[in-house]
Amino acid sequence: MLQSHLPLFLVLVVALGLGVFILVVSSLVGPKRPSAVKADAFECGNPPSGYARERFGVKFYLVAILFLVFDIEAVFIYPWAIVFSDSTRGAGTLSPLLVVVEMVVFVGILMIGLAYAWRKGALEWGPEHGKGLETTTAGH
Amino acid sequence: MSAFFAHSGLDSVEGWFFYLGAAVAVVGALMTVLSRSPLRGALWLIVSLCSVAVLYLLLGASFVAAMQVLVYAGAIMVLFIFVIMLLNLGPDAGVRPAYLSVAKVLGLGAAAYFTFQIVTSVSGGKAQAVDGTVKAVGTLLLGNYLFAFEAISVLLLVAVVGAVVLGMKRLT
Amino acid sequence: MFLLIATLLKFIFFGLVFAIGLAAVLTWMERRQSAYSQDRLGPTRAHFFKIGGKPFTLFGLLHIAADGASMFFKEPVTPKNADKFLFKIAPLIGWTTALVTLALIPFGPSLPSSVFPASWIPEGVETIYLQMAHVDSGILIVLAIGSLGVYGAAIGGWASNNRFALLGGLRATAQSVSYEVALGLTLVGILMAYGSTELGSIVESQNGLLFGFLPAWGLFIQPLGAVLFFIAATAETKRTPFDMPEGESEIIGYFLEYSSMQFGLFMLGEFLEIVVLGALFTTLFLGGWQFPHLIGTDSVSVFGLFTWNGPVAVAVSGTLVFCVKTFFVCSLQLQLRWTLPRFRYDQVMRLGWKTLLPLALINIFVTAGLIWWDPTLSILSYVSIGIILLFVLVVIAGPRRPPQVAHGH
């Protein structure tokens, strides 16, 4: 098992080494004339204002959660695809009907989640941001 | 000397990779805890998770190894890094409450206890390689562990609903 | 030892010469193409000597060398309050993940070890793969390593201590992960059709002909999957029309504070990513090194005019074919830059979540149904050809905006 994966580690070491080598050579041959202005954060020529690490919208966090859920869904679909492919060709121990029904149920349940997020406006970024919540804010 | 190498598994490439992977995993985990900067800590955790994938690979579980990197190092850690970037706590913004020294002692004690338990329970046996190809895992998952497989989708559904409810709350 | 030397040799040929070489040429192509689109000359200055009084610039190709050298001799600036360690390692992440992904791609057909001198090959090795790592779950490892690539932008943006860089990093990460889902799901059709996760055997399954003349490539049995994959891959490379993370006219991007070769590695890593995704598209949807009518199982023949027999002939021409196809896909990606206007960020997110993701799931279930109906894939190929013809018809006969007349004075 490890034998066939060994080249991966080898390439990892070589690629990383090459990258580090490039950076080291660059920092060795490049000039070093530091100045306070040069080290300032670049804000299109204006003097930088305030602390750069501001807080950002929670929207990014929602995207990350949704990504995580659908990434895990994909992880379960990959082995399913292989097993399904085998079962249609008569190989393997499972019947194609069972395999398909299992995945329809699995993805079906997750689709409820996608539909919910969709309806609640969790996938909206533009002017319609938060559209699904208007009913709760109405009444002004 | 050669007996030592054979006994400890250092006479094969696999043995060397095991010790390397295990060492990097432990060092990565330690650095995660010891890093003052949250993002550095997250990066060390990624390193640690990737070296656990190497250990899976040594056990013959190539599918689980790939998924360990894809899901843990590639997806869950994105979530961690997003949280760190959203909160944007600088390296010295961490609160250092008075009970931290008590927590240190308790944490060290727990770590020692678990280390002892793990060492005593695994020292006897030798891990056996399994058939961990995509096909074998898929057949087990869709056959023997059908219920668990379907239950996962419900769990993921709960995660989506929970995230949307909590994340969209402030807009109302 | 054999493994070490063989891997290093393959890495030098496929990684350094082909991938990094192509990435460098792509930077030049991009500049030439931009110049052509904007009616200017583009890179024409760099030269070593003159021929007949004119500088010998090789169509501007020497600018690649000039750019590289100039980046090495620039000062690497680390901004104030930056996390120095993270700032330095961020450019390495994208570069390394791109090169490691390359290790799993089959550049050519496998060779029997008997074509090499017996003293070179250790006992027990019967086939030499023109692929650095021939592993069972190849495509899954590609996705796994690819998913680590997003940290380059995120960490680079965060470590810079610059609000624009941080915003760029956040946007880059959110966009990458959104399209990663679609990218992963579009592959499932290919996995079902060929029943393997090993990239070499996926390529080998794409041999033969459909209807007696059409190559049996993934494109012709998964047309929707191929289109979705191409769109998702373009979004992953963060190029126009998906270049919000590095919108040059507004936030500049997560590499805003980077200079000298630190920036160079970011840029080279990005072009490498184009090459890697192009190679992956070729492998999955364009039959990899296969080329029916030209490359047979044991001989190469150009319309009967020229024939070359033996496994070496197949391997050499297969590798060449693979490189040409990859180059073609990369050029297509470059074409997009001056063809399509940039999206707004909400449009990008909507396209990823509300269009690509549902379409990818529909594609999976339709493909599954058609494979279940006929495991020999012929019904799937009929339907797919129908879809392709429909695409073509819509593009030719579909509604289009009337040409805008310029108001001259």
What does the DSSP assignment read for C333-397?
HHHHHTTSPPPPHHHHHHIIIIIIHHHHHHHHHHHHHHHHH-TTSHHHHHHHHHHHHHHHHHHHH
User: Which residue bears the tokens 């206007």?
Assistant: C341
On whether the CB atoms of residues C366 and C223 are closer than 8 A, the answer is: no
The shortest CB-CB distance from A23 to any of C81, C261, C375 is to C261
Question: Cα–chain-centroid distance for residue C20?
Answer: 12
pLDDT at residue B91 tops 70: no
Token representation of residue C352: 């990823």
* Mean predicted confidence (pLDDT) in C237-259: 79
Q: What does the pLDDT look like over C37-56, one tens digit per residue?
A: 888 888 877 777 777 777 77
Say how far apart CA B27 and CA B30 lie, in whole Å: 5
Given an 8 Å threshold on Cβ–Cβ distance, is B40 in contact with C151? no
Closest alpha carbon within chain A to B157: A113
The shortest CB-CB distance from A79 to any of B76, B137, B164 is to B137
| Alpha-carbon distances, residue B132 vs B54, B135, B138, C145, C189 (angstroms) | 13, 8, 10, 19, 22
The shortest CB-CB distance from B62 to any of C135, C146, C151 is to C135
Q: Are residues B21 and B94 in the same domain?
A: yes
- pLDDT tier at A139 (50, 70, 90 boundaries)? very low
User: Please, what is the end-to-end C-alpha distance for chain C in angstroms?
Assistant: 74
- pLDDT tier at A96 (50, 70, 90 boundaries)? confident
Residues 6+ apart with CB under 8 A from C321: C289, C290, C291, C294, C295
SS (H, E, C) C148-194: HCHHHHHHHHHHCCCHHHHHHHHHHHHHHHHHHHHHHHHCHHHHHHH
Could you write out the DSSP letters of every residue in B41-54? HHHHHHHHHHHHHH
Token representation of residue B28: 């990565």
Q: What does the pLDDT look like over B9-35, one tens digit per residue?
A: 777 888 888 899 999 999 999 999 888
Say how far apart CA C101 and CA C14 lie, in whole Å: 12
Query: Hey, how many other C-beta atoms are within 10 angstroms of the C-beta on A40?
Result: 15
Token representation of residue C288: 């990899």
The shortest CB-CB distance from C260 to any of A26, A43, A52 is to A26
Average pLDDT of the residues of chain B: 84
Residue C315 forms part of a structural domain = yes
User: Which residue bears the tokens 């060397």?
Assistant: B16
Strand partners, C112: C127
pLDDT at residue C234 tops 50: yes
Q: Determine the 3-state secondary structure of B141 from DSSP.
A: helix
Quick check: A58 contacting B, CB < 8 Å?
yes
Residue C31 forms part of a structural domain = no
Number of domains in chain C: 1
Which segment of B5-9, C63-67, C149-153 scores lowest on mean pLDDT?
Answer: B5-9
Show the domain range for B147: 133-172
Strand partners, C130: C108
Say how far apart CA B11 and CA B3 lie, in whole Å: 9
Say how far apart CA C158 and CA B43 lie, in whole Å: 12
Residue A79 forms part of a structural domain = yes
Q: What does the pLDDT look like over A11-42, one tens digit per residue?
A: 999 999 999 999 999 888 888 888 877 777 77
Quick check: B136 contacting C, CB < 8 Å?
no
Residue A86 forms part of a structural domain = yes
* C402: DSSP letter: P
Q: Are residues B122 and B169 in the same domain?
A: no
Q: Are residues B60 and B106 in the same domain?
A: yes
Show the domain range for A85: 59-134
pLDDT score of C310: 81
- Residue C403 vs residue B144, higher pLDDT: B144
Token representation of residue C86: 């993270």
Given an 8 Å threshold on Cβ–Cβ distance, is B75 in contact with A72? yes
d(CA B141, nearest CA chain A) in Å = 9
Percent of chain A having pLDDT more than 90?
26
- Burial class, C382, CB count within 10 angstroms (exposed 0-12 / middle 13-18 / buried 19+): middle
Say how far apart CA A96 and CA A84 lie, in whole Å: 6
pLDDT score of B95: 61
Number of domains in chain A: 1
pLDDT score of A140: 39
The shortest CB-CB distance from B156 to any of A94, A110, A129 is to A110
Residue A129 forms part of a structural domain = yes
User: Which residue bears the tokens 């946007």?
Assistant: C171
pLDDT score of C407: 63
| Alpha-carbon distances, residue A33 vs A122, C68, C169, C214 (angstroms) | 48, 21, 28, 62
On whether the CB atoms of residues C201 and C238 are closer than 8 A, the answer is: no
Closest alpha carbon within chain B to A58: B167
Cis check for the bond before C117: say yes or no (omega within 30 of 0): no
Q: Are residues B149 and B72 in the same domain?
A: no
pLDDT score of A136: 39
A window 15-44, beta carbon within 8 A of B? none
On whether the CB atoms of residues A130 and B168 are closer than 8 A, the answer is: yes
Query: Hey, how many other C-beta atoms are within 10 angstroms of the C-beta on C130?
Result: 22
Say how far apart CA C327 and CA C330 lie, in whole Å: 5
Token representation of residue C316: 């050499």
pLDDT score of C72: 87
Residue C38 forms part of a structural domain = no
Residue C12 forms part of a structural domain = no
Residue C246 forms part of a structural domain = yes
pLDDT at residue A138 tops 50: no
pLDDT score of C399: 73
pLDDT score of C408: 54
Residue C67 forms part of a structural domain = no
pLDDT at residue C92 tops 90: yes
B window 25-84, beta carbon within 8 A of C? 37, 39-40, 43, 46, 50, 62-63, 66-67, 69-70, 73-75, 77-78, 81-82, 84
Which segment of B15-19, B99-103, C155-159 scores lowest on mean pLDDT?
Answer: B99-103
Q: Are residues B35 and B65 in the same domain?
A: yes
- Contact residues, chain C, for B153 at CB < 8 Å: none
Q: Are residues B45 and B100 in the same domain?
A: yes
User: Which residue bears the tokens 């992956």?
Assistant: C280
d(CA C177, nearest CA chain B) in Å = 8
Strand partners, C54: C51
| Angle at A50 (CA atoms; ends A48, A52), nearest 5 degrees | 80
Given an 8 Å threshold on Cβ–Cβ distance, is B86 in contact with A55? yes
Q: Are residues B101 and B163 in the same domain?
A: no
pLDDT at residue C136 tops 90: no
Q: Go through C88-114 and write b for each residue having 16 or more CB atoms within 10 A of its CB, e for each that does not.
A: bbbbbbbbbbbbbbbbbbbbbbbbeee
- pLDDT tier at A137 (50, 70, 90 boundaries)? very low
- pLDDT tier at C69 (50, 70, 90 boundaries)? confident
* Mean predicted confidence (pLDDT) in B136-148: 89
| Alpha-carbon distances, residue C85 vs A41, B37, B38, C147, C364 (angstroms) | 17, 11, 13, 22, 43
Residue C230 forms part of a structural domain = yes
Q: Determine the 3-state secondary structure of C145 from DSSP.
A: helix
Q: What is the ipTM metric for this complex?
A: 0.88
Residues 6+ apart with CB under 8 A from B88: A53, A54, A55, A56
Q: Are residues B17 and B65 in the same domain?
A: yes
Given an 8 Å threshold on Cβ–Cβ distance, is A105 in contact with B150? yes
Average pLDDT of the residues of chain C: 86
Residue C226 forms part of a structural domain = yes
pLDDT at residue A106 tops 80: yes
pLDDT score of A135: 38
Residues 6+ apart with CB under 8 A from A60: B82, B85, B86, C170, C173, C174
Query: Hey, how many other C-beta atoms are within 10 angstroms of the C-beta on B23?
Result: 11
Task: Kindly report the pTM of this predicted structure.
Answer: 0.90
Show the domain range for C270: 79-397
pLDDT score of C403: 67
pLDDT score of B45: 95
On whether the CB atoms of residues C280 and C208 are closer than 8 A, the answer is: no
The shortest CB-CB distance from C143 to any of B37, B70, B78 is to B70
Q: Are residues B116 and B148 in the same domain?
A: no
Which segment of B12-26, B129-143, C86-100, C189-203 scores lowest on mean pLDDT?
Answer: B129-143
- Contact residues, chain C, for B91 at CB < 8 Å: 83
CA atoms within a 13 Å half-sphere pointing along the CA-CB vector of C372:
16
Neighbours of chain B (3+ CB pairs under 8 A): A, C
pLDDT at residue A134 tops 50: no
Number of domains in chain B: 2
pLDDT score of A62: 84
Q: What does the pLDDT look like over B50-81, one tens digit per residue?
A: 999 999 988 888 899 999 999 999 899 998 98
- Residue A1 vs residue C334, higher pLDDT: C334
pLDDT score of B15: 84
Q: Are residues B100 and B83 in the same domain?
A: yes
Strand partners, C300: C295, C308
Q: What does the pLDDT look like over C269-299, one tens digit per residue?
A: 989 999 999 999 999 999 888 888 788 777 7
Closest alpha carbon within chain B to A9: B54
pLDDT score of C71: 87
Which segment of A106-110, C112-116, C248-252 scores lowest on mean pLDDT?
Answer: C248-252
Residue A12 forms part of a structural domain = no
pLDDT score of C340: 85
pLDDT score of C229: 94
- pLDDT tier at A132 (50, 70, 90 boundaries)? very low
Q: Which helix (H) or strand (E) holds C55?
A: strand C54-55
pLDDT at residue A9 tops 70: yes
pLDDT at residue C248 tops 90: no
- pLDDT tier at C394 (50, 70, 90 boundaries)? confident
Q: What does the pLDDT look like over A74-92, one tens digit per residue?
A: 999 999 999 998 888 877 7
Which segment of B19-28, B161-170, C30-39 scores lowest on mean pLDDT?
Answer: B161-170
Q: Are residues B43 and B65 in the same domain?
A: yes
pLDDT at residue A130 tops 50: no
- Contact residues, chain C, for B66 at CB < 8 Å: 137, 140-141, 143-144
pLDDT score of A129: 53
CA atoms within a 13 Å half-sphere pointing along the CA-CB vector of C243:
20
On whether the CB atoms of residues C1 and C121 are closer than 8 A, the answer is: no
